[in-house]
Structure formats: structure tokens, C-alpha cells
Structure 1
Amino acid sequence: MLIELHLLQSFPVSNLNRDDLGQPKTARFGGHTRARISSQSLKRAARQLLAQHGLDTSELGVRTKRLRDAAAGILADRGRDTGEALEVCQAGLEEIGFAAHTATGLTKYLLYVGRPAQEHLADYCEERWDALAKTVADAKTRKEKGDKAPQKKTAKATAAKPTKQAQEHVQRILDGTRAADIALFGRMIADNTDFNVNAASQVAHALSTHAVVNEFDYYTALDDLRPDAEPAADMIGTVDFNTACFYRYANLDLDQLTKNLPADPDLVARAARAWLYSFIHAVPGGKQNSMAARTMPQALLGVVRETGAWNLANAFLSPVTEVPDLMAASSQRLVDHFQQLRTFYGDTQLRHTSIAAIGPALTGVPDEMKAPTLDAFTSGLLTATKS
């Protein structure tokens, strides 16, 4: 069973998600340039809100390259020497299959782990302290011998495959079955694909419903202590921006979510609710201090279906051009496209449809589909998943 979320959200002057040149991201769609917000940016914005919508921080994961330092800090708190703890945890990470930079201790990519992971790594290193300390000492001896001969130096460590003895500990360290966000957004671990997690949620790049042209703001700044006799700008620059009405789409596979969180049906239910509210409220943070583009979606279409999924972006393949109310025209276009798909492909897989709109009333929407408030909108969707 899937929950689908379709949102229309208009932003004033903004640069929510920048490219490598600092410009708002764009894409060509339907032969026209559209404003774009990447799915990764939207997922991060939503993930940061999960704790505000019913999930405890202990039920969320951590993305980090600094697992070594976190575990070493725990060991230091237990009375171990900090320097030795760092070396032992470095060796411990490599023993369980993760290479880390020998100088910084950073793993070569971000690891997405549950919050107990650092504690479990510390426990593993504590348990194998003597063996890992010997590994560290042996490595230093080899390095000293190797330094006598000319050789190309490298700061990278090579991780070995974890031994059978270590597999049980790796399972605990990488366990994601209690981390709701890992279950929602998935995880890929290149060095040990056994611990990959298939995402329960799919998120599309947001696209503007209309054509856009990026603009720029020319600004100057003055030195408050500059003498009055020397008027001039002390800093000059430009900031790129655009304004756009975005179509946003995401879905949640409840069966996959249940598979990813097998031991706790209550966590599954709370994760689904938190996902809904977080995506509705998610706004990327790019340039917000200078532009404050803090808006809310004005049209919401939610669907609960047995199978399949419909991204409705093709409603805007031809750019919306109607003025003066671009949002009203986009909202009607979205609803009309959805109804056309239902008519042509059938709606036997649809269990519930809920539509909420702030502004002019939409035509062609049955009363039973209308939701007067956000809580009515979300509760209708969540209730339909249980019936």
C-alpha cells in the first residue's frame, strides 16, 4: 500500500537550492526552463523535521564520517587514554570492513547508522582492546621499517572484509531497524551491500509549473566606520534568485516501511505520520536568512492506493501561463490531470483521495474528497491505510 503526496507551493524571491555556480537549480521540461529543487534537498529538509512530528531523536539515524571519533570519545569517558582510543577505534573500524583516513579518522563516505552505532563500536573496541592495540603496534612497526626505503606514502587505510567473528558486531553497529529515517530514505553501504536498506519513500525533484528565468540581485554594503567624507561602497556583489510555483511529489510504500522496521508496528505508524507532516512542512534552507522565503503549500492532493504510483508532473508539461492567479490555474490543472488519469486507467487501486486548497474553489472535486484542514487531510490518508 502506498501514500502519495502532491503539493503546489509558491515561493517569492528565493534561492533554496543552488548549483555549483550559486544559481538556483533549473531543468528543461516540456521545452521550457523550469525552476528546480533537488529531491536530496527536499529529503534533508523533511528529515530535519521528523523529530518535530512525533518521532524521538533516539528513533532517528545519524549520517557521519566521524564514527571513529564518536566511539573514541565514549571510551575516553570510560577512562581510556584518548590517543590510544582513537588508534584502537581506527583499527576496529578497519577490522569490521570500513576504511578510514589515518590522519583524520574520517570514513571515505558518510555512514548512515542508528544512534546506538557509536556505543556499539565502542563496546566492540573495548572487548577487543588488546588485539586491536597489537594491530596498531604492528602497523607502527611495519611503517617504521618501511620508512627506511623510498616509497609513495598514502594517508588512506584499506579495510579488510570483516571476519565471521566480527559479523555479529557489524550487525549491531549497522542495525537500522530502529531508525525511522533510514527506513524511510534508505541506505547504501558500498563496502558491505548486505546492510543496504531499500528506501520506503521516493521523492521527485520539484519543478515549477511555469517557465522561469533566473534573475540576480545587485547589492552593496557600507563600512560603518568609514569617514563621511569618503562615501563609497565597501562591498559589491550579486545574488541569484528566482520566483516560482513548484509542483512537489513524494510517495511512501507502507509495506517496505514495515519490512524496514519489522519489530515495531507503532514506530511504523508514527513514522508514516511524521513523514506526511514533515514533507508538507519541508522547506530547504538555502539563502533563507537573506530572503525569508517561508511559505506553505496552497494545494494538497493525497492518495492512498494499493499498487502503482502516479507522478502528476505531466500536468505541467505545457507551462501554466494563466494570470493573475498562477496558483489557482496550477491547482486546477493538477486536479484535472489526476481526474483524467483516473478516467482512462481506472481507479480500482485507489483507496482514498483527499484534496485541500487554500484560495479559489476547485471545480470537479466531489465533496467527499475535500479536506477543510491539514489535520483532516492527513488523518483521512492515515485512516485509509488501516481500513
Structure 2
Amino acid sequence: MKNLYVDINVLQSVPSSNINRDDTGAPKTAIYGGVTRARVSSQSWKRAIRMAFDEQADGADWLKGIRTTRGPLMLAKELQKLNADLSEDDALKMAVGVFDKAKIKLDKKKNQTKALLMVSRGQIEKLAKYVIENDELDGKAIKEALKGEHSLDMALFGRMVADDPSLNVDAACQVAHAISTHEIVPEFDYYTAVDDSKADNESGSAMLGTIEYDSATLYRYANVNVNELLHNLGDVDATTEGLKLFIKDFIMSMPTGKQNTFANKTVPQYVMVTVRQDTPVNLVTAFEKPVKSREGYVKASIKYLEDEYKRTQSFVEKPLATFVLTTYDSEINNQEENIESLVNDTVETIETRVNDEDSSN
């Protein structure tokens, strides 16, 4: 099947917030176009997406994997489900033997893997079944069990196993660090806390502190290699459903850093989704020259983004389809009424393309 990529471009205005902190507690920043921008790391947003998958799972274990050092303990519990006669100690000993046989490094004192390992519920169940049905364990068979039954987040974001690269899963999705379309100036909130039980003749605060924050109109971008996602999941229906979930959750999710402090949960003001067959295109270059405005940044950012989209057509093939959902004016056709129609039309375009290729073969 020919290459097929989905680009997701989002503009989202976020008020005073600190949704992704650095090691000093300050909001992350980046220098781009010679000025300081607000930044939210891709890892932070991918975590938010994974949590959204978890909330929507409703018993569907394939949506979210588990990234943990406690893989042996998970496997031990699964072994006990299949064989109620196994004691906790025996089940854990068997589970540790499985990971040892796969040459995944273990902390034997804690009965844990030395590094975080992402596994899916399906992989744990498959391993447990293999152990119960076989008296002697084969390392290759164990690794094969870990190479199938990928969860959606593992299929999208990949898995790296330093101990054995053959267990790596190539990510079908790339997520960019979100940056502001304009220059930002970090600000500080000075706050105090009063002791409610202090006497009337006492003065002063029980606590003083500061917190750094900023506000920004963010440009967010992600892409999905549809063929790679299909390869990782191994099922057309799962790929279609997974793509729908990812598009929607990338658009609607937000990292939760300091959210109780700032109540900064907003929805995007503009979304552009393109389906391409040649190459993904990150349109962040629209904002290499920072947007300047005293009347808000969203409207100007949309203009910058759509102009850059048109300019890129000189370098790449015309997309198979482009869909826009916005509360503002747009110069691009194929305007969508809501997020559901945006997602459905995008996936329908992909399904049509796949079906056309199948019929021509």
C-alpha cells in the first residue's frame, strides 16, 4: 500500500498557566525565530493522550498499555488467575523466570525490571497462557509473545527496550513540542496563605510563595503514518478505531500541570487535518516570524498558518484532503461543523483510499 499520512495542526489559546514545568518549576520555553516561546513538551501531551485512552477504555484493554518496572508482578497475578493453585511466591518466581529467559535485565531484590518496560494487557495474558501450557520455556517464544497484541498507545508512540532492540516497536505517530505562535514574557504570581486559626491580635501570613506562569496561543502538531499503525496493530478495524480516537484525543486533551491552580482547560480555536501520501508536513515555519498583535493572537495565527499551508504546496504534493474546524473565519474549503464530522471525514478519506488500492490489486 502506498504511503498515507495524517497531519493534525491545532491552534489553541491558553490563559495564565503552568501546564508543563522544567526542573525549577517554571513553564518550559524555547527559542524560535530569535524570541522566547512558551513550550509544552511532546512527552507531556502524549501522557495526556494516554490518560484519555484510559478514561475511554470501558473494558477495552487494547487502548492503553502499561509502562512499568512491575512487569513480573503483573505476570504473576495473571498466572494465578489461570492457575488458582499457584502461591504468590511460586507465581512470582515463574514470572521472574520468564523475564530472565527473555534476557530483560531484572532487579532480583525487588523482582522488577531495571528499566521501565511498556507491555500491553494482551501481551501479559499471552505470556501467562504460554507459561501455563509449557513446562520448559523458550526465549524466542517469549519474545514473540511480546511482539504481538500491541496496545494502541504502544502502536502509536512506540516502545524502546535497550536490553533487546528486537522488542522495539517503531512509533507510527510523531508529536511535536507545542510552542506559542508569538513571543512570551514569563510572569510571577506572588501569593500568601493565612492561618485561619490565628488570634485576632496576630498579623502576617503563615506562608509566602511565588509561582511562574505564562499565557499563549499554542501551535500544536502531530502526524500518523497510517501504514505503520496498521502494521503495529495488525487489524484494519482496530487501526480505523485507533485513528479516530487519536485524532479526537490529540485535539481535546491537555496536560494537567497546575490545572487546579489556574483552571486553564480550553478547547482549540482552529484545527486543520490533512491526509497526504508523500510526506508529513509540520507547518510551524508559519510562526518562525512571531505573530505580533494587540488584539489577540488567534485570528492572526490562523492567517499565518493558512498562508504557510498554501506556500508548502510548491514543495509537496497536493493533499488528498484537507479539513478545517474553527470558530473563526478560514480561507480553506471543507469546513467542518464539529469534531465528530472532522474525525469521520478524515477516516472516511483514508478508508476510501485503502479500498481503492485493494480493488486495483
Instruction: Please state how far the C-alpha of 1:175 moved relative to its aligned partner.
Output: 3.2
Equivalence for 2:355: none
- Verify the 8 A CA contact 1:53 1:277 in the aligned structure 2: no
Aligned mate of 1:351, from 309, 317, 320: 320
- Verify the 8 A CA contact 1:183 1:260 in the aligned structure 2: yes
Q: Deviations over 1:70-126 (max 9, x none)?
A: 223344562333234334433332222112212222212111111033344445555
Aligned mate of 2:75, from 66, 71, 76: 71
CA distance in 2, matches of 1:386, 1:122: 36
Equivalence for 2:296: 325
Q: Would you say 1:203 and 2:187 are equivalent positions? A: no
CA distance in 1, matches of 2:10, 2:296: 17
Question: Sequence identity of aligned pairs in percent?
Answer: 35
Aligned mate of 1:166, from 111, 126, 139: 139
Equivalence for 2:356: none
CA distance in 2, matches of 1:123, 1:227: 66
Secondary structure of the structure 1 residue equivalent to 2:289: coil
Secondary structure of the structure 1 residue equivalent to 2:208: strand
Instruction: Please state how far the C-alpha of 1:33 moved relative to its aligned partner.
Output: 0.6
**What's the C-alpha RMSD, in Å, of the aligned pairs?**
2.1
Larger Rg: 1
Equivalence for 1:266: 237
- Verify the 8 A CA contact 1:54 1:274 in the aligned structure 2: no
Q: Deviations over 1:190-225 (max 9, x none)?
A: 112112111111111001000112112111112222
Secondary structure of the structure 2 residue equivalent to 1:345: coil
- Verify the 8 A CA contact 1:68 1:90 in the aligned structure 2: yes
Equivalence for 1:85: 91
Equivalence for 1:236: 208
In structure 2, stretches of 5+ residues that fail to align are 353-361
Equivalence for 2:249: 278
- Verify the 8 A CA contact 2:143 2:167 in the aligned structure 1: no
Equivalence for 1:47: 50
- Verify the 8 A CA contact 1:6 1:301 in the aligned structure 2: yes
CA distance in 2, matches of 1:338, 1:125: 53
Instruction: Please state how far the C-alpha of 1:54 moved relative to its aligned partner.
Output: 7.4
CA distance in 2, matches of 1:373, 1:207: 25
Q: Which moved more, 1:23-32 or 1:115-124?
A: 115-124
Equivalence for 1:154: none
- Verify the 8 A CA contact 2:272 2:325 in the aligned structure 1: yes
CA distance in 1, matches of 2:316, 2:113: 49
- The 1:55–1:299 alpha-carbon spacing in structure 2 relative to 1, beyond 3 Å, is farther
- Verify the 8 A CA contact 2:62 2:122 in the aligned structure 1: no
Compute the TM-score of the two structures, normalised by the length of structure 2. Answer: 0.89
- The 1:345–1:326 alpha-carbon spacing in structure 2 relative to 1, beyond 3 Å, is same
Instruction: Please state how far the C-alpha of 1:9 moved relative to its aligned partner.
Output: 0.5
Secondary structure of the structure 2 residue equivalent to 1:57: coil
The aligned amino acid for 1:382 is V
Secondary structure of the structure 1 residue equivalent to 2:156: helix
The aligned amino acid for 2:345 is G
Compute the TM-score of the two structures, normalised by the length of structure 1. Answer: 0.83
1:171-250 map, 5 Å? 171-172=144-145, 174-250=146-222
In structure 1, stretches of 5+ residues that fail to align are 132-162
CA distance in 1, matches of 2:103, 2:171: 23
- Verify the 8 A CA contact 1:55 1:271 in the aligned structure 2: no
Q: Would you say 1:336 and 2:307 are equivalent positions? A: yes
Q: Would you say 1:370 and 2:341 are equivalent positions? A: no
- The 1:122–1:225 alpha-carbon spacing in structure 2 relative to 1, beyond 3 Å, is farther
CA distance in 2, matches of 1:55, 1:329: 40
- The 1:116–1:24 alpha-carbon spacing in structure 2 relative to 1, beyond 3 Å, is same
Q: Deviations over 1:22-50 (max 9, x none)?
A: 11100100000101001111111112212
The aligned amino acid for 2:25 is G
- The 1:36–1:180 alpha-carbon spacing in structure 2 relative to 1, beyond 3 Å, is same
CA distance in 1, matches of 2:93, 2:288: 56
Secondary structure of the structure 2 residue equivalent to 1:46: helix
- The 1:196–1:252 alpha-carbon spacing in structure 2 relative to 1, beyond 3 Å, is same
- Verify the 8 A CA contact 2:8 2:272 in the aligned structure 1: yes
Equivalence for 2:357: none
Q: Deviations over 1:56-79 (max 9, x none)?
A: 531132111101222233445623
Aligned mate of 2:262, from 273, 291, 305: 291
CA distance in 2, matches of 1:380, 1:280: 15
1:5-20 map, 5 Å? 5-20=8-23
CA distance in 2, matches of 1:116, 1:104: 24
Aligned mate of 2:114, from 108, 112, 122: 108
Q: How many residues align?
A: 346
Q: Would you say 1:380 and 2:351 are equivalent positions? A: no
- Verify the 8 A CA contact 2:5 2:275 in the aligned structure 1: yes
- The 1:52–1:382 alpha-carbon spacing in structure 2 relative to 1, beyond 3 Å, is farther
